Amino acid sequence: MWLYLAAVLAGLYLLRRWHRERQTVPGLSEKYVLITGCDSGFGNLLARQLEARGLRVLAACLTDTGAARLRAAASPRLQTILLDVTSSQSIAATTAWVRERVGDRGLWGLVNNAGIAIPTAPNEWLTKDDFVKVLDVNLVGLIEVTLSLLPLLRQARGRVVNVASVMGRLASFGGGYCISKFGVEAFSDTLRREMRPFGVQVSIIEPGGFRTGMTDPATVVKGFERLWERLPAETRATYGRHYLETYIKSTILLHRLSSPRLSRVTGTVEHALLTRCPRSRYAAGWDARFFFLPLSYCPAWLTDAIIGLFLPVPAGGTPARP
């Protein structure tokens, strides 16, 4: 009896949520959305996708080339600006530029998409500057951009969408990338609670493995080789050349297994911006939903054992055991 009642209630809840999430906000043609990191990848596709829906897209690119290519592929509704999220001066200039364009309407959406992954390697191979390089873009820059634009977002009672990663729930490799994404999760959670009284909604996107410029094998291999060459001879002997070669092969294999369908990510961002009832979190990709997220809830010993199966063994070490 109680089992049937619970099933009915769960079904009604899911049906109600499905119905509410299908409803979109009105007046899309008058809403402004700023997207960072639009030179390529998720940001580039999302900018064109939202512009096709009729929104007024403000696309922030890092390079002139990326901005020119994006303008050529879109209508005049899409405007571009150069933004370096590691520069406070660039962020201030972009904020002033956005304020001039949105006027009294305010900014409906901010999509923090800009990010880098390299240098990524075993932690011992990296320096403090290597970590800082990634954190400045993926976390500190994201925070400063958001804080600069919050008054305009409150004015429009709009949306903040932060592109994190499933690696922000389960760290699988060394370097600043996973650390930065854990930080994005924490910042987004606190911001969501603080902004709720102002009508500003905050969503987190947690993609799995997707083929973007950040995961280009040639770039990754060159990065590993440069890090290896600068290591002290003692450290190289401890790990062994075979460790490096296996690490590179594993990275290339993961890239090949990654999904080329970037629309699975941009579709979740679009939903978070346009539905009347956005979710707090969106998992994007089958690997994120059915492997990494469930694994993140497992006991540490089990998680370590499973991830350890994919890690090479150093010349001076022994295979990890649960």
Domains of the chain and CATH, by start: 29-212+260-289 (3.40.50.720)
Res 91: pLDDT: 98
Res 9: pLDDT: 67
Beta strands 79-82 and 109-112 are unpaired
Reply yes or no on whether 177 is catalytic. yes
Tally Cβ neighbours within 10 Å of residue 229.
8
**Which H helix or E strand runs over 161?**
strand 159-163
Report the C-alpha dihedral over residues 91, 93, 96, 102, rounded to 10 degrees.
Answer: -70
Pick from 192, 184, 180, 183: nearest CA to 162 = 184
Q: What is the DSSP string of 48-86?
A: HHHHHTT-EEEEEESSHHHHHHHHHTS-TT-EEEE--TT
Token couple for 188? 């987004």
Q: DSSP state, 207?
A: E
* CB within 8 Å of 71: residues ≥ 6 apart: 78, 80
Tell me the C-alpha distance between 85 and 114, whole Å.
8
Among residues 4, 13, 32, 177, the one annotated as catalytic is: 177
**pLDDT tens for the 322 residues of the chain, in order:** 666 666 666 666 667 666 566 677 888 989 999 999 999 999 999 999 999 999 999 999 999 999 999 999 988 889 999 999 999 999 999 999 999 999 999 999 999 999 999 888 999 999 999 999 999 999 999 999 999 999 999 999 999 999 999 999 999 999 999 999 999 999 999 999 999 999 999 999 999 988 887 777 777 788 888 999 999 999 999 999 998 898 888 888 887 888 889 999 999 999 999 999 899 999 999 999 999 999 999 999 999 999 988 888 888 666 555 4
Res 314: pLDDT: 87
Tell me the C-alpha distance between 142 and 149, whole Å.
11
* CB within 8 Å of 280: residues ≥ 6 apart: 192, 202, 203, 204
Q: Which residues make beta-bridge pairs with 111?
A: 35, 161
